[in-house]
Amino acid sequence: MKQFMGILLFIAVCVGVGNSQESSAGSQPVFVIHGPTIVAFFALATEKGKENDPNVNEVLSDFQLYYSQASAPLQKAGIDFPDTNSRSFRICIGKKVRGYRMSKIGVGYFFIAPGKEPHVEYGIMTDADLLDAARKYFGIAIR
């Protein structure tokens, strides 16, 4: 019975959260991976004392610009590109759920696909650099 309840809970988490949606406030976001995915994370703005730092605001502005410029080409290539302001999150692939916590550098990109080991790129990447990294990791053409 406990195993059955555990399976139901797992299914509820994976299905109920949906692809690249964040869970309720205060808990880790959960990303359900169905194919090539890059989770863009920017946790600097949520760090204590950094909320009004002009340098953080400039970095966030760059992050948002390159994110928006890379979104359409990634989407056309079939790559999901969710974002989060959390340094830690969970990934659900099939029946496996794993938690990930990024390093002290709170900005970067988490590359994942079913059957592949995850890869993390830290720091701000231009849209061109991000598309190039996606080409290399996923092995697919991106225009």
For residue 79, the model assigns a pLDDT of 98
For residue 46, the model assigns a pLDDT of 53
Give me the CATH topology for the region 2-138. Answer: Glutaredoxin (3.40.30)
Q: Two tokens at 140?
A: 């697919």
For residue 138, the model assigns a pLDDT of 97
For residue 22, the model assigns a pLDDT of 41
> Domain residues of the chain, as ranges?
2-138
* Strand order through the sheet with 119-122: 83-84, 37-42, 107-112, 119-122
Residues with Cβ within 8 Å of 102's Cβ and at least 6 positions away in sequence, in order, are 41, 43, 87, 88, 108, 110, 120, 122
Give per-10-residue mean pLDDT for the chain (143 aa). 40 39 62 97 67 77 96 97 93 93 88 95 96 96 87
For residue 48, the model assigns a pLDDT of 57
